[in-house]
């Protein structure tokens, strides 16, 4: 199973007017990916950068804040795949490269 991690925060950035929250984005991304890929092959997980629960998430959350990355930040197997408004085509490409099975 591949984890797609969405790092973000509850508050919206000032330049993200009319954009969904990071949590809403994670929920939308979960539904979108499970329509295209085997739902048992992918897990979408949301991490609040201000309240990460484990050491790995704490390290990456600190990076998001310090490097001023645009959230939501989508990470797959340690690679930042997209920042800000997620680009599904880029995410699909990464999952395809990893050999994740598409649903039929």
* Domain boundaries along the sequence of the chain: 2-97
How high is the pLDDT of residue 16? 61
Residue 99 has pLDDT above 90, yes or no: yes
Identify the residue with better confidence: 28 or 12: 28
Write the pLDDT tens digit of every residue in 57-74. Answer: 999 999 999 998 888 999
- Lowest mean per-residue pLDDT among 5-9, 30-34, 37-41, 60-64: 37-41
How high is the pLDDT of residue 12? 63
Q: Is the dihedral of CA 48, 53, 55, 57 positive or negative?
A: negative
3-state helix, strand and coil shares in percent for the chain, rounded to the nearest 5: 35, 25, 40
Chosen CATH of 2-97 out of 3.10.400.10, 3.40.30.30, 2.60.120.10, 3.40.718.10: 3.40.30.30
């Amino acid at each position: 199973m591949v984890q797609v991690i969405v790092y973000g925060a509850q508050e919206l950035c000032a330049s993200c007017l009319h954009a969904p929250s990071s949590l809403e984005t994670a929920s939308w991304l979960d539904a979108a990916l499970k329509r295209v890929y085997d739902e048992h092959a992918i897990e979408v997980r949301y991490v609040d950068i201000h309240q990460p629960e484990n050491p790995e998430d704490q390290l990456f959350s600190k990076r998001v804040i310090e490097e001023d990355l645009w959230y939501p930040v989508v990470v797959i197997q340690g690679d930042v795949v997209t920042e800000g408004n997620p680009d599904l085509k880029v995410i699909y490409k990464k999952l395809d490269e990893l050999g994740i099975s598409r649903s039929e």
